[in-house]
Chain A
Amino acid sequence: MNIDPISYIPLTEPTFYVLLSLAPGKKHGYAIMKDVVELSRERVKLSTSTLYTAVGRLLDQGLIERLSDDEQDSGPGLPRKSYTLTALGRRVLEAEAVRLQGMVKEARLRLREDGA
């Protein structure tokens, strides 16, 4: 089934960062949380419950998937379940990046016109 990624965008900022965090590869919940803080330059700090609300929704939407226990190699004390981006999730992330890029481009053009 070919689902149009456009139907999922615009993404909220936390959702965008969660998906972006998973773009390079699989991560467990704690690693996602830390990565989001780093990616947003400490602007977006997710609480545990907000993170898992987003994770649950993204799983339902099929944008991410949970890896089974034997596929994981998390360290001791770390969550045993990890998540990875699905093909659809990657397409949605790319579509959102294009949308944001377009917005930034338009904003820059207008600001340049105003300045001139």
Chain B
Amino acid sequence: VKSLYALLLHLFPRAYQDEYGEELRTVFDLSFDEAMQEGWAEVAGFISRELLDLPKAIIHEHLRERRKAHMVRKFGSYFDFTYGSRWEFLTALYPFILVGFVEPLMIVLVMSNLLTSQSVLVNGIGVFVVASLGILLLIGLAKGLPRWSLPYLGFALTILSVSCFSALLDMRSLRLYDRLSPLGDSMVEGGWWFGLLVAMILLMMGARTLPAFQRFRNDWTLLCFIPYGGVPFALMLTFDAYTGDEPFMFFSFLVLASGTWLYLRNKHEWKRFGVLFGAMTLAMFIAAAGKVILLPTQDWLYYVDPASWKIEVMYTFNTWIWLALIMLLTSAPNLLSRSKSRLQTT
């Protein structure tokens, strides 16, 4: 009887068997032994009770399991987007999570002497981060730039833009710095983002004329998602020489990751744009606040001028202005067409 009962327990759902199977068997065995001591009438009553209740319990547990699975699916549907998939969600979030979380984690491990900065593991993780971002960008390009790949493109364009401007600054014959300085700090620092600006203007022109870029006409926020991918690199530049910036980097990237998540989930174009713009602004604000807090503790600053923090904040502010300008530029044609249609309606 005990073996038969143990066999029947296999009719319960797998998870239920794992959780209660052993207990059910033990309690059944003990109850059966007790009934045996009280006589056959008790045994018959016990077995009939068990056999009558068992099918009911099995059906009940299977239904409960299905309800649980349904709830899990319902929870999962929270990550399904207007169009796209969970894969899209994960790949779009990946650069923000990877760069934002892995870098501070590695620095913390090095600072707590769990790893050395020259260790194979640290270098290996660094190579993995860069390689995985590069591979995903290539996959995105090969697939015709799906939505998830746009921040990767923005990240790559930003690196290219900054590298080009650095190269131009290094060319002493051009005397670029001397030429831009009279125009103000915003213009000099804006030079880093000039390449990205040009790339975005070209993409916008392509979106208006090329059939292959039809997608960007249908959803203009896609263009805005490209420079958003450059914000992580802007944050890295902002904190370039700083030490102890890990918490601020972490929170800035958390904000950017949340912005991406909300962007992918939102159905309304203006809300999507607002989310990206807001997240970029908040991330830069956290960076600026972090610099003000960290500045007095930096050992590279030989002399802390009362105005030093203003200069540092202004640098971040200038970066924000340029990123904001580029993001607003992508929405400008849509803004103009809306005003035009409103005028016609009036």
Contact = CB atoms under 8 A, between A and B. Distances in A.
B120 interface: no
Interface in B7-34: 16, 19-20, 22-24, 26-28, 30-31
B61 A53 contact: yes
Interface residues of A, number: 18
Nearest to B19: A56
Contacts, number: 57
A103 interface: no
A48 B27 contact: yes
Contacts of A50: 53, 56-57
B254 interface: no
A13 to B, nearest CB: 15
Interface residues of B, number: 23
A79 B49 CA distance: 21
A47 B30 contact: no
Nearest to B68: A60
Interface in A40-66: 45, 47-53, 55-56
Nearest to B50: A47
Interface in A52-89: 52-53, 55-56, 77-81
B57 A79 contact: no
A77 B54 contact: no
A15 to B, nearest CB: 14
Contacts of B53: 47, 49-50
Contacts of A53: 57, 60-61
B64 A48 contact: no
A46 to B, nearest CB: 8
A25 to B, nearest CB: 19
A51 B27 contact: yes
A10 interface: no
Contacts of A33: 27, 31
Contacts of B28: 48
Given A29-B23, A47-B49, A79-B23, A52 B30 contact: no
5 contacts: A30-B27, A30-B30, A47-B54, A48-B28, A79-B26
Interface of A: 29-30, 33, 45, 47-53, 55-56, 77-81
